[in-house]
Amino acid sequence: MSIGIAYNKRKVNYMLELKNVSFSVDDGKGQKEIIKDLNLKIDDGKFVVVTGPNGGGKSTLAKIIAGIEKPTEGTILFDGLDITEMSITERANAGISFAFQQPVRFKGIRVLDLLRIAAKKQLTTAEACKYLSEVGLCAKDYIKREVNASLSGGELKRIEIATVLARGTKLSLFDEPEAGIDLWSFKNLISVFEHMRETVKGSIMIISHQERILNIADEIVVISAGSIAKHGPKDEILPEILGTSAAVGSCNILEKGGNK
């Protein structure tokens, strides 16, 4: 008598999966391919840093995931759902946040108002202050301030991160958050990301050249010439790229004490 053994094979869904994604633009001389047949899989609950040489396609990749740019070819899955044709708003509602290199200023809107918009509910002042405290800001000094030119670059970055926390999204994307801030603000930013790594339940993806940000990653993705050159655990990838053009290189100005 033969005995048949049945195995239940569960289909694995990654939190984020890009399948054969390409992106081209017309540069006046024809179509220029920025992203080339890129494949990427990210598990849930990961802190991922995307790095690589300037012009390699890092920021374009982040914008494609957020829906700011639409891929020329390929498919994007988020929690198993095809979001390739979804708008920015639809992706935001699905659970994707995007933080720009230069946060937007909103004249006439208070920090409290911005946090309430992000949370999509009427937060109490105490609830809003909690998010500000999590990013290292003295809540009582900021809660009623306008999100305008009176705030420094570092303050705006942390307020923007507070709005991401208030939204509670499944994937938080940050495009070179170190851009345009001084060394003191950068050190505080690192502390905020370290705290997020320990407390945020969703996944975090940061586009960055900075070694200190690379050092707190779970995984590192290296993008060069529109394709993934390396992807793996930090302890495996970081030693391979330190000191090369694929990582910090000439973009390590902040680490030496200057402004970017």
Say which residue, 179 or 245, is predicted with more confidence. 179
Instruction: Supply the angle between the helices 111-119 and 153-167 in degrees, to the nearest 10.
Output: 30
The answer to whether the CB of 111 falls within 8 A of the CB of 160 is: no
Joined tokens for residue 215: 């050092």
**Average pLDDT for 218-241:** 94
**What top-level class would CATH report for the domain 16-256?**
alpha beta
Selection from 134, 136, 68 nearest residue 101 by Cα? 68
Residue 258: which pLDDT band, with cuts at 50, 70 and 90?
Answer: very low
Q: In the chain, pLDDT over 70 holds for what percent of residues? A: 88
Q: Domains of the chain: which residue ranges?
A: 16-256
Handedness of CA 108, 111, 113, 117 (dihedral sign): positive
Regarding predicted confidence, which is higher, 188 or 23? 23
Look-up of token digits 């301030």: 145
Q: Residue 136: how many CB atoms within 10 A of its CB?
A: 15
Q: Where residue 96 falls among pLDDT bands split at 50, 70, 90? A: very high
pTM of the complete model beyond 0.85: no
Identify the band that residue 255 occupies on the pLDDT scale cut at 50, 70 and 90: very low
Residue pLDDT, tens place only, 121-155 = 999 999 899 888 888 888 888 888 888 888 888 88
**Alpha carbon of residue 97 to chain centroid:** 8
CA torsion 78→80→86→88, rounded to 10°? -20
pLDDT score, position 243: 64
**26 contacts 32 by C-beta, under 8 angstroms:** yes
| pLDDT tens-digit readout, 1-25 | 444 444 344 445 789 999 999 999 8
Top pLDDT among 167 and 24 is at 24
pLDDT of 68 higher than 90: yes
Q: What is the pLDDT of residue 219?
A: 96
Count of CB atoms situated within 10 Å of the CB of 36: 16
**Mean pLDDT computed over every residue of the chain:** 84
